[in-house]
Every structure is written in structure tokens, then in C-alpha cells.
């Protein structure tokens, strides 16, 4: 379990009072104690409020060795990759390589072959979660054994074809509906436009500019140590589920950062928005 709070400011926009990180720490420590009490092996949190900072870890990385968790540990953080992929896509938009209202199939012909009825879906729809595309992740979990999930990697095309097996009315839609498939399409689009792997694209567009030196896109095989391990129950027995090859290279949850690096990304994103506002 990880928690990041960056630029913690409360109240109305014209108020200048802030809640210092040092006063937030006891509340987060209480939260961490409660999480550990309910079975979470470890909790890491990083709070940054201007020049004040708290970076702490509690619990253990591994329920077998009981090695203590550390603030610099890398970890799976579900959905961490989505805003980073969005930044990379918007760089293509700024460069004029892609337009927000372009049909996805203009840049990715395979999309129309897999979803022939969804030809009106645009890049904007994917970024705004209004494509209406079926989420590939639930049927993936339901159709694969634990062994397959841990050791069988999937391509972007395979993930989309899993989603295409779910019967839904063709989108886009006029309301927000979360689908991990949106981000897999965008990840595939990034690889196609750059002619490079997603790990290289995000490294150049996001990790390096934001100073995220301890972040990478998950590859096939055991994730890099040290990191908190995750577990599932199989027939009543605890099974280490830290390795998950089925999400290697995933645009949604395939990014493995440290909590501090994730905080750097949030801070860099906020700084970029402020600079654009002044411009």
C-alpha cells in the first residue's frame, strides 16, 4: 500500500493557510497502523508541502524473510501509469503529430479491425474515459489461472482482443466510464508513433524530465528488489503474487515507481500547469 500527498493545501483558493506535513504525519501513521492491522504487509507514504517533507515506511517487504520496508523501495501502484501516458500523448498533440479529435484508427488501423463498430472513438475519448470500450481486465482475471497470470505476457493486441469479447453497445459515450482498455490503446498508439517500446517512450517523455530515476515500466520476470511483495490465497494457502507477467509493459498499471518518484511526478505536473497558466 502506498500513499502520496504533494502540495497539500486546503481551503478556498484565496486562503493562504496550509496544513504542514509535520501535522499530517501522525494521521498517516495511524492510517498505516490500521492498514497493517488489517493485513497489509507494508505501507509507504510521502508527504510534501512546499519545503516540508515526510517520507516513511512501516511493515515488511516479504512475509517470508520479514525484511523491513524502506521508503526507497519500488512498488506496484495500480493506475500509476495512466497520467504519465496522458502526458506523453499530449506531447504528441503539442507537436502536431496527433490531434485530440482524430479517430483512433487513423493512427492505429488495428483498432478498427478489432473493434469495427467503434470507429468514432477518438484520442480525446480515450483520454477522457468516454470511449465506452469494455474493460479487458475483469475477463482476463476470470479466464486465466494464477500460473498464466504470473508467467504469460500479453501484447497490446491480445489485451484489446480480450476486451472485444465483451458485448457492449458501441461507443463513444457521453459520460465517464473507467476502462483499462483505453490506456492500452493509448500505450499501443505511443509505441506506434515513436517506433519504440513504451518503456523508452515514458523514460524520455516523463521519467527523465521529472527526475524519476527509480521508475521503470515492468518487464517480464521477477520485479526488481527491494519492493513490497503482494500475496493471494490459493486453496487456503498464501501465494506470493509479486511477479505478474500479464501486466508487463502495461500502460495502466505496468509502471513501477518509488513513492518518492511518484511524488516528483505529481509535483512536476503541477509545476508545468502553473507555468502554462502564467504564459
Same domain, 253 and 197: yes
Same domain, 261 and 278: yes
Same domain, 206 and 163: yes
Same domain, 64 and 168: no
Which CATH number goes with the domain that contains 110? 3.40.710.10
Domain count, the chain: 2
DSSP states of 208-269: TTTT-TT-EE--SSSPPSS----EEEETTEEEE----GGGTT-TTT-EE-BHHHHHHHHHHH
Same domain, 146 and 222: yes
C-beta of residue 147 within 8 angstroms of C-beta of residue 232: no
Same domain, 64 and 157: no
Give pLDDT tens digits along the chain (279 positions). 555 544 443 333 334 445 555 566 778 888 889 988 988 889 888 887 777 777 888 899 989 889 999 989 998 888 889 999 999 999 999 999 999 999 999 999 999 999 999 999 999 999 999 999 999 999 999 999 999 999 999 999 999 999 999 999 998 999 999 999 999 999 999 999 999 999 999 999 999 999 999 999 999 998 888 888 988 889 999 999 999 999 888 888 889 999 889 888 988 887 665 555 444
Which residue range forms the structural domain that includes residue 55?
1-71
Q: What is the pTM of this model?
A: 0.85
Same domain, 38 and 116: no
Amino acid at each position: 500500500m502506498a500513499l502520496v500527498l504533494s502540495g497539500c493545501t486546503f481551503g478556498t483558493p484565496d486562503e493562504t493557510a496550509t496544513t504542514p506535513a509535520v501535522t499530517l504525519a501522525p494521521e498517516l501513521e495511524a492510517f498505516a497502523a490500521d492498514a497493517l492491522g488489517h493485513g497489509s504487509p507494508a505501507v509507504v507514504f510521502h508527504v510534501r508541502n512546499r519545503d516540508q517533507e515526510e517520507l516513511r515506511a512501516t511493515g515488511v517487504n516479504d512475509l517470508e524473510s520479514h525484511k523491513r520496508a524502506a521508503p526507497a523501495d519500488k512498488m506496484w501502484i495500480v493506475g500509476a501509469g495512466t497520467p504519465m501516458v496522458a502526458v506523453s500523448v499530449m506531447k504528441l498533440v503539442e507537436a502536431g503529430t496527433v490531434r485530440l479529435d482524430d479517430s483512433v484508427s487513423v493512427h492505429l488501423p488495428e483498432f478498427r479491425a478489432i473493434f469495427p463498430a467503434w470507429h468514432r472513438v477518438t484520442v480525446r475519448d480515450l483520454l477522457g474515459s468516454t470511449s465506452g470500450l469494455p474493460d479487458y481486465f475483469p475477463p482476463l482475471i476470470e479466464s486465466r489461472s494464477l500460473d498464466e497470470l504470473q508467467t504469460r505476457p500479453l501484447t497490446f493486441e491480445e489485451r484489446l482482443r480480450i476486451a472485444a469479447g465483451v458485448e457492449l453497445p458501441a461507443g463513444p459515450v457521453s459520460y465517464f466510464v473507467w476502462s483499462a482498455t483505453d490506456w492500452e490503446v493509448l500505450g499501443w498508439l505511443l509505441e506506434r508513433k515513436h517506433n519504440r517500446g513504451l518503456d523508452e517512450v515514458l523514460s524520455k517523455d516523463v521519467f527523465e524530465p521529472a527526475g524519476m530515476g527509480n521508475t521503470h515500466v515492468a518487464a517480464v520476470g521477477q520485479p526488481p528488489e527491494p519492493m513490497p511483495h503482494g500475496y493471494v490465497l490459493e486453496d487456503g494457502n498464501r501465494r506470493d503474487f509479486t511477479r505478474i507477467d500479464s501486466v508487463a509493459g502495461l500502460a495502466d498499471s505496468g509502471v513501477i515507481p518509488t513513492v518518492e518518484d511518484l511524488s516528483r511526478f505529481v509535483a512536476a505536473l503541477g509545476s508545468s500547469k502553473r507555468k502554462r497558466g502564467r504564459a
